[in-house]
Each structure stands twice: as structure tokens, then as C-alpha cells.
Chains A and B, each alone.
Chain A
Amino acid sequence: SQELEQSPQSLIVQEGKNLTINCTSSKTLYGLYWYKQKYGEGLIFLMMLQKGGEEKSHEKITAKLDEKKQQSSLHITASQPSHAGTYLCGADFSWGKLQFGAGTQVVVTP
């Protein structure tokens, strides 16, 4: 979706290092989703954010939604090989219309 911009498009991180992915919209986001996808597989739900300033964590992954509800970040601490894959942010721009960014491909090297 051109309404959701993800950055970077791809990144290579050394195992044990941290990484951050950003998702930005020009419109207010009413529901912001983060999904992960392994190559050739389906989508795995990570987290959903709804309120401005909200922050959620699961294991070593933390997602935040800014106060204006137009930008979200996904942060992985001490990356592991299991964190490799494509991360997608998605948002509801109107009721039932869920759209996604282009994705960020993450490669974790030894």
C-alpha cells in the first residue's frame, strides 16, 4: 500500500545486535498490526496497537505506536536466527479495509 511506508526495505544484522523497523502513514492509524512471514509461508501475527503512545512487548520484540497514531516502530533486541524473515505492518484505514506496507526483509548473520 502506498498509504503505509515501511523502512528499511531490507536489513542485515549480526546475531546479537538490535534492529528497528519503521512504519509510517500520512493518515491516522486506527489499528496497527505487525506480522512476520518466513519465505514461502503464511503470516504470523506478532502484535496489534490501537492507542496513541501504546507499547507492547513479546519476548524480544517491542512495538510502539506514536501519540499521533501515524507511525509505528518494531524493535528486536539481541537478534537471533529465528528473527529472520519479512516483517509487515498493516493498518485499518476504514472499517474492514486492512492494508499493508511493502515489508522489511531481515537477514540475521552469525
Chain B
Amino acid sequence: NAGVTQTPKFQVLKTGQSMTLQCAQDMNHEYMSWYRQDPGMGLRLIHYSVGAGITDQGEVPNGYNVSRSTTEDFPLRLLSAAPSQTSVYFCATNGQPMNTEAFFGQGTRLTVV
């Protein structure tokens, strides 16, 4: 049982490049989220999804796109990377918000130069 799998673990991008961070879960959870973590700022919510076909913006959505075509996958797209997007990105899933814990992937460390 893999849980929540994020790929890649590390990535270096040049300014203006695009890329997709992958998040896959095998727990059949409806709820999935993307966060970024910067020093001293905890986890900030980028986008979240309450089910396949449904996404919504979090606290810091600018510069990021998401889609949810299946229950299992929730990719995060950077269309034109900027140095301000250098961060550690975490994907999370939850089967029953407000009732059960959220499960996190191991993170993707992204550097934009």
C-alpha cells in the first residue's frame, strides 16, 4: 500500500519553464490538496479538490493550475516557473475531512533558477 506518492522528489527548473508535479493516491480518498512550504510560513494551501472533476483555489493559487480527472491523481502544473515558486510542495489526501487525519506525500523540493 503506497499511500500518497509524489514525483519527482527533486527538480530544478529555469525561469519560464513549465512542469507538472505528480500526486497519486491509492486510498480511494475523495479529498486531495496541494501545499507549498516556505521557511517560517508553515504550509500554505494552493489548490484543493473535493472529488473528481471538482477543484477550488486555496490561499496562494496564482501561477498554478490543477485538474482532477480521476480519484487517484491530482497533478499540479506550473505553466511558467518563477524564482518565487522555489519551495517544497506537499500533496495530501483525506477520506473524511473533519473526521479523519490527512495523509501527506513525502514532498517535492523545487528550485527555480
- Which A residues contact B (CB, under 8 angstroms)? 1, 6, 9, 30-31, 33, 35, 41-43, 45, 48, 50, 88, 90, 92, 95-103
Contact = CB atoms under 8 A, between A and B. Distances in A.
Interface in B9-31: 30-31
25 contacts: A1-B42, A30-B98, A42-B90, A42-B104, A42-B106, A50-B99, A90-B43, A92-B98, A95-B50, A95-B97, A95-B98, A96-B30, A96-B33, A97-B33, A97-B45, A97-B56, A98-B45, A98-B92, A98-B94, A98-B97, A99-B45, A99-B59, A100-B44, A101-B42, A103-B42
B42 A33 contact: no
A92 B48 CA distance: 12
Contact of A31 (B92, B98, B107): B98
Given A43-B104, A101-B42, A31 B35 contact: no
Nearest to A4: B42
Interface residues of B, number: 30
B101 A45 contact: yes
Contacts, number: 75
| Most chain B beta-carbon contacts within 10 A, residue among A1, A42, A92, A98 | A98
Contacts of A92: 97-98
Contacts of B45: 1, 97-100
A98 B102 contact: yes
A100 B98 contact: no
Contacts of A95: 50, 97-98
B35 A100 contact: yes
Nearest to A102: B42
B8 to A, nearest CB: 15
Contacts of A41: 106-107
